[in-house]
Structure 1
Amino acid sequence: MNWITNYVRPKITSLLTRTEVPENLWIKCPETGEMVFHKDLEANQWVIPSSNHHMRISAKERLKSFFDDGEYHALELKKVAADPLKFRDERRYVDRLKDSRTKTGLEDSVLVARGSIEGLGIVAAVQDFAFMGGSLGMAAGEAIVTAAESAVERRRPLVLFAGSGGARMQEGILSLMQLPRTTVAVEMVKEAGLPYIVVLTNPTTGGVTASYAMLGDVHIAEPGALIGFAGQRVIEQTIREKLPEGFQRAEYLMEHGMVDMVVHRHDLKRTIARLLKVMMKHPAEVHRPEAANDAAPAAPAELAHAAE
């Protein structure tokens, strides 16, 4: 055996060879600049442990962490025209759709599923910002309508996680028409006497805010979420005034009555389950003591008789 060839040379080569590190091995906190290990962040539902900054989470990961045991059934959504206007800017619209579908594994920006939280059956719709900014187009509007129809058909509450940059410009007026369509769908749920809870995530803006995202019975926001219709710079240029600190953030909106509560991502499931049980008038769970503790202590005479 040539020990120089078989042992020494491989050792030297391994020392000189640069080790490739995956790009997503570490994630940088946008607020503090702290580097967080990817696996630790994923296990913490994409919340930075030290700063409590809520990062964006994919629709599939959201549903997995939200439903009991991570189990849910994705609903089949109706097909719509992929490129009704034959739109093209720097790239063709169909090419952008193809790239987003490959990147996210979704057909469009909204994923609809049914499952249970703390034993209570619900229908949930989640917007994925990674799919063209969670923009609202014909397919996304159809998904919201499907979610509402499924909730009414199955007599289940509807929970929607909103996260979007607004309407999808590549579909023009067809995109804007989804605002009244989704509004009517939400009214169907309410007329059926079913709860509709909206969770506003970062960001929720544009036409989505102007329609179904602000029509909930209860509006919950994640900490630090950007929520509004027009952007802050546009508003400042229009009114020619400087906006307050934290304007359009979840905490500011809660202080001014636009949002009912700001809830940490880890507490969303428990909070929504409690709200739905109250709104659905489910009987409160009574924790009865064990049978051994229910029995009254025996009187001295009874003890004496038992001893005989």
Structure 2
Amino acid sequence: MTDRLTAPGLISDLLDDGSWTSWDAAPERGGLDPAYVEELERAQQKSGLDESILTGRGTLDGMPVAVIAGEFSFLAGSVGRAASDRLVAGIERATAEGLPLVGLTCSGGTRMQEGTPAFVQMVRIGAALAAHRAAGLPYVAYLRNPTTGGVMATWGSLGQITYAEPGALAGFLGPRVYSALYGEEFPPGVQVAEHLAEVGVIDGVVAPADLRERLATVLRALTPTPASGETRDSTGENPGLDVETWDAITRTRRADRPGVRDLLATEATDVVELSGTQSGEVAAALLLALARIGGQPCIVVGQDRAAEAEGHKLGPAALRVARRGFALAAELRIPVLTVIDTRGGELSAAAEEGAMAGEIARCLGDLVTCGAPTLSLMLGEGNGGAALAFLPADRIVAAQHAWLSPLPPEGASAIVHRDTDHAAEMATAQQVLAIGLAERGVVDRVVAELPDAADERDAFLARLGGVLAEELARVHAQGAGSASARAARYAF
């Protein structure tokens, strides 16, 4: 770790020059033990601040934002009643003014000098943040070194998006307390930012020098761009039904077929990848990101064919990450874009013990009842329940050769014919093609491949991006559909 950053210094680095306005009034010190008052006075002289918490508003790259920040040099950033009052007031003011919130934590936790009366203030802090999120406003937490105890268990862990500075100690129980209580050292590295990112507790590690740019990208990703009035080429949309089933399946299995990452790289702006469930699980086969497509913010929940090709499995954790995405979109009141492109859900003892079937059911249920507008894209392969779990949406778009099947055709052949030789025959009999689902009214728009997405990569992605931009604008304007309306399209 480098020298610890001060809260005023970091705020100055993050916000536009001259834009900071403090919201803080002088804290009340009445009724406190005289010895503690002297300690507070020494802390004020040392830090140059009157409390461990700063709150206020400013602009970041021209965008208004509220900030709550902890200062470690004031009694190790500990949070007592006065600091809690300041935190709660700052969060509530951000909510009232409709401002996104950035939390810059740096604290050992609850102030021990004040004991339980300070400890129970965690309830108020959590309630204030819950109300801010319920108002559809984003909260991004940035964990500085250290962030432990009651701060980690409240405003350090309640961001929809959470980053940490490199090497930061972030955890519930500080190592010194653990050692004193249990007579042994806490395992090294567990509470370090980089490890927390690896296991899906936080979304990433960001150096302070890069934080301004990252926060600006997040804020832009959540802000619609006014329509330019330009139209995109949709040539080849809803092509004729002249697709041979096995040929389509073979095309979707090409190694060079573009996937969700290619789509975002060419057709999206302000892409911010998120990591894991925030509960200690990651899933490389599932891409979760904020992005704008055609200027429209969305949460992308995409099955990553490139990661599957490298051996990563779409298991229960991936579905839990997807469910985080659905909930995040509902909170932020922006559309969800799901992308179906998978060889199938993980088949293993670990997947069964991780409730694979249950997670498919819960993913289906969460998507069909999602409180955000939803758009599904059938991009390529669609094997099994893990693919179906990403389908129910207000609108559905499909690539011409995309398909959806209860099992890989080889698996269906093994069940019916006890061999895999009849895979092509089974695929045709099972009517797996998206273009057939369009005939039945399940799929709303089909984007042509001329003749194949892999052979005309850039042109295909441009056509697809134009359609997605139109559809995201459509579902955003219409608002979230009902579960019954989303399910009705399958009653054929």
TM-score, normalised by the number of residues in structure 2: 0.44
What is the distance in 2 between the residues matched to 1:86 and 1:237? 27
Shift of 1:257: 1.1
Corresponding residue for 1:74?
Answer: 22
Answer yes or no: is 1:214 the counterpart of 2:161: no
Cα distance between partner residues in 1 of 2:173 and 2:194: 18
Cα distance in structure 2, aligned partners of 1:282 and 1:139? 41
Residue pairs, 1:89-238, within 5 angstroms: 92-232=35-175, 234-235=177-178
Aligned partners of 1:265, 1:253: CA distance in 2, in Å?
18
The Cα of 1:168 is off from its aligned counterpart by 0.7
Alpha-carbon deviations, 1:199-222, whole Å to 9, x = none? 000000111111121111011100
Q: Deviations over 1:150-186 (max 9, x none)?
A: 2112111010100101111111221112100100110
Are 1:58 and 2:1 counterparts?
A: no
Q: Could you tell me which amino acid in structure 1 is paired with residue 7 of structure 2?
A: A
Aligned equivalents of 2:160, 2:98: Cα separation in 1: 16
**Corresponding residue for 1:86?**
33
Percentage identity across paired residues of the two chains: 37
**1:70 offset after TM fit, Å?**
5.1
Over 3 Å counting, the alpha-carbon distance change for 1:243 and 1:137 in structure 2 is closer
Structure 1: gaps spanning 5 or more residues: 1-52, 287-308
Q: What one-letter code is carried by the residue in structure 2 that aligns with 1:123?
A: A
Match of 1:111, SS state, is: strand
What TM-score, normalized by structure 1, do the two folds share? 0.69
Report the AA paired with residue 41 of structure 2.
Answer: K
Q: Could you list the runs of 5+ residues in structure 2 that have no partner in the other structure?
A: 227-268, 271-291, 293-492
More RCO (CA 8 Å, sep 6+): 1
Q: Give the letter for the 1:62 counterpart.
A: L
Q: Which residue identity is paired with 1:60?
A: P
Letter of the aligned partner of 1:159 in structure 2? V
Q: For residues 234 and 75 of structure 1, do their structure 2 counterparts lie closer, same or farther at Cα, with a shift above 3 Å needed? A: closer
Query: Contact 2:24 / 2:54 at 8 angstroms: preserved in 1?
Result: no
Which residue is equivalent to 2:197? Answer: 254
User: Helix, strand or coil for the counterpart of 1:68?
Assistant: coil
The letter for the 2-side match of 1:264 is A
- 2:422 corresponds to which residue? none
For residues 138 and 232 of structure 1, what CA distance do their matches in structure 2 show?
25
Question: 1:56 aligns to what SS in structure 2?
Answer: coil
Structure 2 residue aligned with 1:290: none
- For the residue of structure 2 that corresponds to 1:208, the secondary structure is helix
Instruction: Give the aligned CA root-mean-square deviation in angstroms.
Output: 2.3
CA-to-aligned-CA distance 1:200-249 (integer Å, 9 cap, x gap): 00000111111121111011100000001112355468788875542200
The count of residues paired between Structure 1 and Structure 2 equals: 229
The C-alpha deviation readout for 1:263-289, integer Å capped at 9, x for no partner, is 011110110111122234456699xxx
Structure 1 stretch 62-71 or stretch 230-239: which is displaced more?
230-239
- Residues 235 and 171 of structure 1: is their aligned pair in 2 closer, same or farther, counting only changes over 3 Å? closer
Give 2:337's aligned residue.
none
Matched, 1:277 2:224: no
Looking at structure 2, the residues matched to 136 and 189 of structure 1 have their Cα atoms a distance apart, in angstroms, of 20
